[in-house]
């Protein structure tokens, strides 16, 4: 079955710097890759997603890139702000109802 | 996106008792999902609930321990039965919305078992 690995587990950046979180997946049939942000005491919130027919997608300060050949995808946050501090989860889906999540990255943005 | 609510938001329970968690969504959805998130961990799928049929459970989860109801297209319940301290977790409901592979999550139910 699908396996998603996520790195790093913890990331600390200075406010205004960029943050990059990387994930790899094992199932070449995976074609949908969402990213979730989970703030303390809340449920995961879908922040951006990308499908396998696209190499990059951007939404304001966040962007996601996908390399299907290498089976890895990344989340990029530019101009980080303290409110970006949260746990971020990558995930992969083969087009059905089952989504496999990475282990999560705890991002700290220091003011 | 769909608006999803869960009740209760948190509870503290005694071992051996059961708790039923409710999930309500403001739109009709095909599938509803129940996840468990242990402290500091990722999300683990418990089961998938389709309206009008029995829930489909993932490996390691059984219906006797986690019975699920899905009476209509906007509501589902998850019961955690005969609880032990190991059941202390956040339980999350999610729904597919817009497309089968896109999931939106509720706020979660934080369960502590003493």
d(CA B53, CA B70): 8
Smallest CA–CA distance from A34 into chain B, residue: B102
pLDDT of B98 higher than 80:
no
Q: What percent of chain A has pLDDT over 90?
A: 91
CB B61 within 8 A of CB B48: no
Q: Do B107 and A46 touch (CB under 8 A)?
A: no
Tell whether the model's pLDDT for residue B2 goes beyond 90.
Answer: no
Query: Is residue A9 within 8 angstroms of chain B, CB to CB?
Result: no
B57 strand-pairing partners: B47
A21 touches B: beta carbon within 8 Å: no
Max distance between CA atoms of chain B, in angstroms, equals 40
On chain A, the residues whose CB falls within 8 A of the CB of B107 are 42-43
How high is the pLDDT of residue A98?
83
Q: What is the pLDDT of residue A94?
A: 84
Question: Using a CB-CB distance cutoff of 8 angstroms, which residues of chain B are in contact with residue A45?
Answer: 105
How confident is the model at residue A66, as a pLDDT?
A: 97
Would you say A80 and A96 are in contact if contact means Cβ atoms under 8 Å apart? no
Query: With an 8 Å Cβ cutoff, are B103 and A98 in contact?
Result: no
Residue in A41, A44, A93 closest to B105 by CB: A44
Question: Each residue of A14-68: pLDDT tens digit?
Answer: 999 999 999 999 999 999 999 999 999 999 999 999 998 889 999 999 999 999 9
Query: In the numeric block, which tokens belong to residue B63?
Result: 């219906």
Per CB-CB distance under 8 Å, the chain A contacts of B60 are: none
Cβ-based neighbours of B102, under 8 Å, separated by 6 or more: A32, A34, A46, A49, B96
User: For residue range A9-22, what is the model confidence (pLDDT) as tens digits?
Assistant: 999 999 999 999 99
Q: Which residues of A touch B61 (CB under 8 A)?
A: none
- Which two structure tokens, joined as six digits, stand for B88? 């202390």
Query: Residue A22, CB half-sphere, CA atoms under 13 Å: how many?
Result: 7
Are A92 and A72 in contact by the 8 Å Cβ rule? The answer is no
CA distances from B83 to B33, B86, B108, B114 (A): 21, 8, 18, 9
pLDDT at B99: 77
Residue among A43, A95, A96 minimizing CB distance to B105 = A43
Tokens of A5: 């690995």
CA atoms of A21 and A36, how far apart (whole Å): 12
The answer, for A52 touching chain B at a CB cutoff of 8 Å, is: no
Rounded mean pLDDT of A71-97? 94
- Report chain B's mean pLDDT, rounded to a whole number: 94
Classified as helix, coil or strand, A18 is coil
Q: Which two tokens stand for residue B42?
A: 């990722």
> Beta partners for B95?
B32, B104
Q: For B71-98, what is the HEC assignment?
A: EECCEEEEEECCCCHHHCEEEEEEEEEC
CA distance A97 to chain B (A): 5
pLDDT in tens, B18-52: 999 999 999 999 899 999 999 999 999 999 998 88
- Which residues of chain A lie closer than 8 angstroms to B102, CB-CB? 32, 34, 46, 49
List, for residues B67-83, the tens digit of each pLDDT value.
999 999 999 999 999 99
The predicted pLDDT at position B66 comes to 98
Inspect the interface and report whether the beta carbons of A97 and B96 lie closer than 8 Å: yes
């Amino acid at each position: 079955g699908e396996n998603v690995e996520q790195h790093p587990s913890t990331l600390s950046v200075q406010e205004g710097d960029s943050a990059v979180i990387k994930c790899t997946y094992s199932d070449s049939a995976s074609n949908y890759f969402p990213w979730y942000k989970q703030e303390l005491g809340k449920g995961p919130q879908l922040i951006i997603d990308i499908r396998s027919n696209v190499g990059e997608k951007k939404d304001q300060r966040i962007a996601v890139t996908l390399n299907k050949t290498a089976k890895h995808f990344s989340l990029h946050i530019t101009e980080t702000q303290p409110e970006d501090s949260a746990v971020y989860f990558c995930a992969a889906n083969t087009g059905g109802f089952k989504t496999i999540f990475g282990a999560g990255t705890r991002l700290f943005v220091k003011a | 996106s769909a608006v999803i609510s869960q009740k209760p938001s948190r509870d503290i329970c005694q071992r051996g008792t059961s708790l039923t968690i409710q999930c309500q969504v403001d739109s009709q959805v095909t599938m509803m999902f129940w996840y468990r998130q242990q402290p500091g961990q990722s999300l683990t799928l418990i089961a998938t609930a389709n309206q009008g049929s029995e829930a489909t459970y993932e490996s390691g989860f059984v219906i006797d321990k986690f019975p699920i109801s899905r009476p209509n297209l906007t509501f589902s319940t998850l019961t955690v039965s005969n609880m032990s301290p190991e059941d202390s977790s956040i339980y999350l409901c999610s729904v597919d919305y817009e497309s089968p592979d896109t999931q939106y999550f509720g706020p979660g139910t934080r369960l502590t078992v003493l």
